[in-house]
Structure 1
Amino acid sequence: MYNFSVRYHDGRLSIAHDATLTLMPDHWLIHYRDPSGELTSVRWALPGIVTDDNFSTLFIFRYGEFPQQTIECKEESLPETLKKRYPEKVFFKKRITNIFKLNNATITAVAFAVVILMGLGYWYGLPWLAGAVAARFPVSTEVQMGDTMYDNMIQAYDVDEHLTAATNDFVKSINFKTHYPIRVTVVKNADANAFALPGGRIVVFDGILRKMKTKEELAALLAHEVSHVHYRHSLRNIFRSLGGYLFLSLLLNDINGIVTVLADNSNMLANLTYSRELETEADSKAMAIFQADGLNLKGFVDLFTMLKNEHGDIGSLKLLSTHPLTEDRLQEAEKMAENQKPVKEDIGLERKWEAIEQALK
């Protein structure tokens, strides 16, 4: 018989299905009932099936591109049946069994070494892995994830619809040179704060808008946040901060599980701290946006100076604690502004800024 009971994961949802695996001559068929009760079949071509190596009695197979489909089988007769059914394909490598013949002291030493390696992998390897996964994350999935996180966290804020509409109209006049859909939400909060979500969502507190005097200051703030989105700084930071929670989801190629973890921790977004390296990279791209659009780089100097002047204790200002403002960044902005080529006056952008000022009254 070529039928086996298995557990099937489609790679997109975190749930598993009880299924039947049928071994066909050149492919596998997996039959299961979806949540609605409808009988569903999945076909795995034989060349694309990959075996997971492990030391347990659970046989695991993966198939397809990321996120991969997975089946798990506990039936001990499966390896022998596969060998007879597909003599030309090797599913299982020879397992290491000699380790279990070692004495207790050696086994203890090996176990200790494994624990140490796992700890090193967790503390040093996992942050790198999270960054690598973020860099390869599909843009469409990132946008969907950002929208899910936004829907989850925006409920804690009072959205100013009028200011939001005016600010998004302002955004349309600037070419941010990014393929992400930029959508800004202005919320009612006295803190001078703004932060970016993965996929193009940006949240701006009206407290910082009320401290601005020019359109260039707002453009500088938005260009900086867009740059964090464009370079996936928000995604990388979140993955690193929640690395332990995401580890199992990454191992299972469970995109839905990742989205769920992030959505459940959406409120931490306003307090994530960027490194100096990421801030410098965001500043560099933001200033390049200004130069390409002919905007006055003095907007960055005015924005940074305003924040310092308004708050003697810089560490207490959320924008500067999550986006640390160093003297180097301020000096670089002043240097770039001094050396900038002649700028053009954008009457349309000025009028849109005036509309924002009017909405603030």
Structure 2
Amino acid sequence: MSDFRLWHYDGVTAVRRSVLLRPAGTGFVLEEPESGWVGAPTDWSDLTVIGAQGDRPAYGHGAIPGWRMGFSGEAPPGIAAHLPKGERYGRWIDRFGLWPAAGVFTAVAALVVWGALEAPGIIAPLVPQSWENRMGDSMVGDFGGRFCHTPAGDAALKALAAQLDPQHEAREIALANIPMVNAVTLPGGRIILFDGLVQQAKSPDEVAGVLGHELGHVRHRDTMTGLIRQLGLSVVLGGAGGNAGGYLNGVLSLSYGRGAESAADGVAIDRMREARISPAATAAFFERLGGQEGEGTETQAMTWLSSHPLSAARRRRFAAAVKPGASYRPALDRAEWQALRTSCASDPKVAKFWGKAF
């Protein structure tokens, strides 16, 4: 038996003993020669590291609460070889090693980030259409009384919608008296063109391109995806309810990703081709709105560009979609175009943009 002394509490009394350790079978027995006290046999595998006493590890017994022992100096090699190792970084990290564990955690973190980015696109199509419709209805209301209506203007907008949306994928297409160069797609297939967009356009073909693009967002439910990504599942679980105004602001501030924008452009080009409307005007509209890439950041805030970032590749795609020799026709005739452009100005009941809150 080694004369190396340990301190020990047996978990029964509060007496701190100075003991010697005697190996026995697969474990040891602790003895205090001065008092004649002898502890119960303990297996090496019962020991656990429970902390430190000074700068030395303290050990406990896995089956006996309060049982503790420790060393006042370095344990002899014959004893140290049987002692459990203390955790340096944590149980699992110590088991696998720091760098392998760091690699696993990095992979898990990357998977979580990927899930956060991709999950909205998976969840959105699973949201019942009736829920999304109710959400869009709650958001829009009467849009603060800003929807423009005249008999001729309504007929012109209906004629434009009939060409680009013959299957009625959009539940409503409306014109709002808001002087911003913008258009938004709300949940539930509701598209709102702002009067500022119509006034900025030089032809109905330009408006047709923007409307076709918004119809692409309706088909792919991009607004629902964007809201889930931006505001979380509360959008789905809580519905619109009293948060309708906040969700509407969320829609207005949405910025779609490049993939969604490209897919919506594809729908616009297809719709215009089927309606025999030239996409050349849309390419020119994008060029005029966007100017040189990287310029006009401040003036683009709260416009269609803020949520639908343009690029030279997008403009070229519309320009390349023009088919030489194709027989195109205007999206609206001159009288219809004039009626659409003057609809908000001619509606005596429409609310002014700055005069009434949403």
TM-score scaled to structure 1, two decimals?
A: 0.58
Q: Which protein has the larger Cα radius of gyration, Structure 1 or Structure 2?
A: 2
Does the residue aligned with 2:163 lie in a helix, a strand or coil?
Answer: coil
Backbone CA RMSD of aligned residues: 3.8
1:278 maps to 2:272: no
Q: Is the 8 A contact 2:149 2:344 kept in 1?
A: no
User: Following the alignment from structure 1 to structure 2, what is the Cα–Cα distance between the partners of residues 233 and 123?
Assistant: 20
Q: Is the 8 A contact 2:187 2:223 kept in 1?
A: yes
Per-residue deviation, 1:166? 4.9
1:329 maps to 2:310: no
Does the residue aligned with 1:185 lie in a helix, a strand or coil?
Answer: strand
1:187 aligned to which of 176, 192, 202:
176
User: Following the alignment from structure 1 to structure 2, what is the Cα–Cα distance between the partners of residues 320 and 130?
Assistant: 23
User: Following the alignment from structure 2 to structure 1, what is the Cα–Cα distance between the partners of residues 326 and 180?
Assistant: 34
Q: What is residue 148 of structure 2 aligned with on the other side?
A: 160
Q: What is residue 67 of structure 2 aligned with on the other side?
A: none
Q: Deviations over 1:174-232 (max 9, x none)?
A: 14255533412322232211111122111222111111121111111111111111111
User: Following the alignment from structure 1 to structure 2, what is the Cα–Cα distance between the partners of residues 282 and 347?
Assistant: 19
Q: Is the 8 A contact 2:164 2:272 kept in 1?
A: no
Per-residue deviation, 1:351? 3.8
Q: Deviations over 1:129-181 (max 9, x none)?
A: 322110222223222221122229x33x7333339735542344314255533
Does the residue aligned with 2:192 lie in a helix, a strand or coil?
Answer: strand
Q: Is the 8 A contact 1:198 1:232 kept in 2?
A: yes
Q: Is the 8 A contact 1:170 1:353 kept in 2?
A: no
Q: What is residue 257 of structure 1 aligned with on the other side?
A: 238
User: Following the alignment from structure 2 to structure 1, what is the Cα–Cα distance between the partners of residues 156 and 243?
Assistant: 27
Q: Is the 8 A contact 1:217 1:300 kept in 2?
A: yes
Q: What is residue 185 of structure 2 aligned with on the other side?
A: 196
Q: Is the 8 A contact 1:228 1:234 kept in 2?
A: yes
1:126 aligned to which of 116, 120, 129:
116
Q: Deviations over 1:75-122 (max 9, x none)?
A: xxxxxxxxxxxxxxxxxxxxxxxxxxxxx979x757x99x99997776
User: Following the alignment from structure 1 to structure 2, what is the Cα–Cα distance between the partners of residues 164 and 280?
Assistant: 31
Q: What is residue 56 of structure 2 aligned with on the other side?
A: none
User: Following the alignment from structure 1 to structure 2, what is the Cα–Cα distance between the partners of residues 170 and 302?
Assistant: 23
User: Following the alignment from structure 1 to structure 2, what is the Cα–Cα distance between the partners of residues 158 and 310?
Assistant: 33
Unaligned runs of 5+ in 1: 1-103
Task: State how many pairs are aligned.
Answer: 248
Q: Deviations over 1:39-75 (max 9, x none)?
A: xxxxxxxxxxxxxxxxxxxxxxxxxxxxxxxxxxxxx
Q: What is residue 269 of structure 1 aligned with on the other side?
A: 251
Does the residue aligned with 1:210 lie in a helix, a strand or coil?
Answer: helix
Does the residue aligned with 1:265 lie in a helix, a strand or coil?
Answer: helix
Per-residue deviation, 1:350? 4.8
1:313 maps to 2:269: no
- The one-letter code sitting in structure 2 at the alignment partner of 1:204 is L
Q: What is residue 304 of structure 1 aligned with on the other side?
A: 286
- Closer/same/farther in 2, CA of residues 172 and 187 from structure 1, 3 Å limit: closer
- Closer/same/farther in 2, CA of residues 130 and 178 from structure 1, 3 Å limit: farther
Of stretches 339-348 and 299-308 in structure 1, the one that deviates more from structure 2 is 339-348
Higher helix share: 1
Per-residue deviation, 1:260? 4.0
User: Following the alignment from structure 1 to structure 2, what is the Cα–Cα distance between the partners of residues 136 and 340?
Assistant: 42
1:356 aligned to which of 320, 340, 348:
340
- Closer/same/farther in 2, CA of residues 265 and 345 from structure 1, 3 Å limit: closer
- Closer/same/farther in 2, CA of residues 291 and 348 from structure 1, 3 Å limit: same
Identical amino acids, percent of aligned pairs: 24
TM-score scaled to structure 2, two decimals?
A: 0.58
Q: Is the 8 A contact 2:177 2:344 kept in 1?
A: no
